[in-house]
Structure 1
Amino acid sequence: MTDRLPILAWDVGGAHLKAVLLNEAGEVQAVVQLPCPLWRGIQQLQSARAGVLNQLQLQDHDVQHAVTMTGELADAFADRASGVAAIVTEMQRGGQVCFYAGEQWLQAGQAVAQPLQLASANWNASATWLAAQVDQALLVDIGSTTSDLIPLAGGRVVCRGHDDASRLQCSELVYSGVVRTPLMALAQRVPFAGEWTTLAAEHFATSADIYRLLGQLAAEDDQADTADGRSKSVAHSRQRLARMLGQDDADASPAAWLQLAQALRQAQLDQLIQAALRVLSRLEVAPEAPLISAGVGRFLVPALAAALGRPCHDAAEYIVAQAGDPALRLAASKALPAYAVAQLYFSQAGQTRLGSTADGGSQP
């Protein structure tokens, strides 16, 4: 590589496409997140990718592209390998593109030949980058759909799981997020009007409805469709919540529905507490080590840290943005895998030219 170009890093999820633009100095210049419901087909990625470039007023050849993904699990694809191949093909549309595969970077042909090296590797990018910033921590990245709980010790990632299946087994991955999670996945019953009430096993409402009522979900992070296709207003969120109990909004007071939202928030927090206790019980992370929050659900992490008796820091504290802009640092912390893969690529690009390595990978 001769002249260093800006880096545009992509995190291709199953529901959103996130992109972080670094300038030539390695500082965040822009962050974009767009809806990308991949279960509706690969054309959703094509549209979202074009939308990101349009917002940033960039052409493919204006930047170096670094890509990580989790979207290969979307059920539009027959299997994960097919999903990786489809995403790689879509993202490889021009310019210099490398795909994050943990310890190596792959070009498109290599990526398709080694699909499981890329599959759901975005958490690894976040953890690897953060481990170079802090000695000990539990990274808690709460997204729209899932939560990652990744232990760091001695400046290393000390996870036990390495793919979705093994990470689910050891509670380092929890399918619980603050936007898309069906409420029936948070609890089987809830306290309401002095009684325990069973929740309907129907996709009537999602976790976003809880956090709209509680005023904790920022509008720019609330990009998924609602369960009934109606608006994201507090009134409609309350109606969806009531339907989970087989009731109508008018059957109880606004205060009662707000209390129900708080109970469901606690149920979700309890899921995360149990997962964190399991991960921390391995005693790899020092008792005084903090939780570090990231993701659009980062607002839950201080309560999680308090329940565990640990301090809490925000990933934004470690992010470098143009002119030190706090808004950019916050936005990048919500898209941490994209920021992390950008920084990992930036670091490698400063050391070596793009080319094949002996192990069949490539380096930026």
Structure 2
Amino acid sequence: MSNLPPASDAVTLGVDIGGANLKYADTQGHVSSVEFPLWMRPDDLAGQLKSDFAAYPDSSRVVVTMTGELADCFLDRCVGVQHIVDQVCRAAKQCGWSSPEFYAVDGQFHSAAWAMEHVDLVAAANWHALAHWVARRFAPQLSGGGLLVDIGSTTTDLIPLGDGRIATPSRTDFERLSEGSLVYLGGGRTPVCALVDHLDWQGRPVAVMREVFATMDDVRLLLGYQPSDASDCRSADGKPRDAFHAANRIARMIGLDHRTVDLETAKRLAKQVHDQARTLVAEAIAALGGHGPLVVSGHCSDLLPTDIDSRQRISLPATLGEAVSRCAPAFAVAHLVG
């Protein structure tokens, strides 16, 4: 639960279907995030959704946004969107719920049949849903312009806002990558070798191995930005997500291991990676320009540069609560629907 405005009697459930996580938020203030590797189990999506929907028995309307169509189990976005729409409809029907509605980058909600025919408007629309809600909710503060900075486990969204609307004509991932408003860098699944080409070891640079031996999960865990969870083995090497194994994974990036790299040394290696990630986010923000407030969302805000403190910040975790901010696009679609 969080400090949200009172809900009406009709309860809407917002669903954000990603490639690695399913996120839920209803208009009563309940939220949840469930890890689900869509790329490994695409045909199990309906079953997982049905199970998760059981936690929201009061919902009378389901609205959906997605990025999971990008999962590499799908040949293309068309196949991905159509598969996800079909699976969501199956789950809703099995629960006895009405037909779901799907958010598109035209800012509207549409039927499943429409979504099936307009896949490019439905694909990867969750950033637009969040930015749409933020632009409305903080319109007075953003009257002179601003920037939504949403840093998640996989990507960083940098969305220009102004006058109560999204201030960019870009709609697709390609267009957003081209303009720099989509940065494929996050605090979870991003491989270390995608961020640095060397690490300083005992006063000299050592080239990193171009293998997914370690990810940003390990970096943030070692630096205290993410809790340890020894029961979670969905790491780069399938070993527990704890400090010992995270340190070992970081060490492997330069051909070493726990026998020669202790925990404190591993932390110093991790800080180099973390600093580079912050630098890349800073460069992307600077390239977009602007001097208005930053609306900060997502659960990896430690990657936000520290040298832009002169800009006012509006924190969604502080405004809505940490749990809601983590599920912000699901929250947004639930509250955008009329």
Q: Same fold, TM exceeding 0.5?
A: yes
TM-superposed deviation, 1:317 = 4.3
TM-superposed deviation, 1:192 = 2.1
Contact 1:160 1:167 in 2 (8 A): no
TM-superposed deviation, 1:308 = 6.3
| Residue 58 (structure 1) aligned with residue 57 (structure 2) | yes
> In structure 1, what is the equivalent of residue 251 of structure 2?
242
TM-superposed deviation, 1:224 = 8.0
> In structure 2, what is the equivalent of residue 310 of structure 1?
311
> In structure 2, what is the equivalent of residue 337 of structure 1?
329
Contact 1:17 1:48 in 2 (8 A): no
Equivalent position to 1:203, from 212, 235, 240: 212
> In structure 2, what is the equivalent of residue 8 of structure 1?
13
Letter in 2 for 1:299: D
Change (3 A) 1:157 1:224: farther
| Residue 279 (structure 1) aligned with residue 288 (structure 2) | yes
Equivalent position to 1:104, from 102, 108, 111: 108
The 2-side partners of 1:47 and 1:244 are apart by 38
Contact 2:173 2:182 in 1 (8 A): yes
Matches within 5 A, 1:19-34: 19-23=24-28, 28=29, 30-34=30-34
The 2-side partners of 1:58 and 1:150 are apart by 34
> In structure 2, what is the equivalent of residue 40 of structure 1?
40
The 1-side partners of 2:161 and 2:232 are apart by 31
Letter in 1 for 2:324: A
| Residue 120 (structure 1) aligned with residue 124 (structure 2) | yes
Provide, for residues 236-278 of structure 1, a one-character-per-residue CA deviation record: whole Å limited to 9, x for no partner: 0000000001001221332221111111000111111111111
Matches within 5 A, 1:1-364: 5-23=10-28, 28=29, 30-54=30-54, 56=55, 58=57, 62-93=59-90, 94=93, 95-96=97-98, 97-102=100-105, 103-134=107-138, 135=142, 136-218=145-227, 225-280=234-289, 285=290, 287=291, 289-301=292-304, 304=305, 306-307=307-308, 309-319=310-320, 329-345=321-337, 348=338
TM-superposed deviation, 1:318 = 4.3
Provide, for residues 89-134 of structure 1, a one-character-per-residue CA deviation record: whole Å limited to 9, x for no partner: 1111322311001322111111101111100000000111000122
The 2-side partners of 1:223 and 1:128 are apart by 34
Aligned identity (percent) is: 33
Contact 2:244 2:263 in 1 (8 A): no
The 1-side partners of 2:224 and 2:48 are apart by 28
* SS of 1:92 mapped into structure 2: helix
Letter in 2 for 1:338: A
Letter in 2 for 1:53: F
TM-superposed deviation, 1:298 = 2.1
* SS of 1:132 mapped into structure 2: helix
Contact 1:37 1:44 in 2 (8 A): no
Give the aligned CA root-mean-square deviation in angstroms.
Answer: 2.0
The 1-side partners of 2:21 and 2:168 are apart by 25
The 1-side partners of 2:319 and 2:134 are apart by 8
The 1-side partners of 2:262 and 2:233 are apart by 27
Contact 1:7 1:21 in 2 (8 A): yes
TM-superposed deviation, 1:137 = 2.1
Change (3 A) 1:6 1:41: same
Contact 1:305 1:312 in 2 (8 A): no
Change (3 A) 1:224 1:77: farther
The 1-side partners of 2:271 and 2:228 are apart by 19
The 2-side partners of 1:224 and 1:69 are apart by 26
Deviates more, 1:73-82 or 1:43-52: 43-52
Contact 2:193 2:209 in 1 (8 A): yes
The 2-side partners of 1:142 and 1:224 are apart by 23
Change (3 A) 1:223 1:343: farther
Structure 2: runs of 5+ lacking an equivalent: 1-7
Letter in 2 for 1:175: Y
Deviates more, 1:97-106 or 1:258-267: 97-106
The number of equivalent residue pairs is 318
The 2-side partners of 1:331 and 1:146 are apart by 18
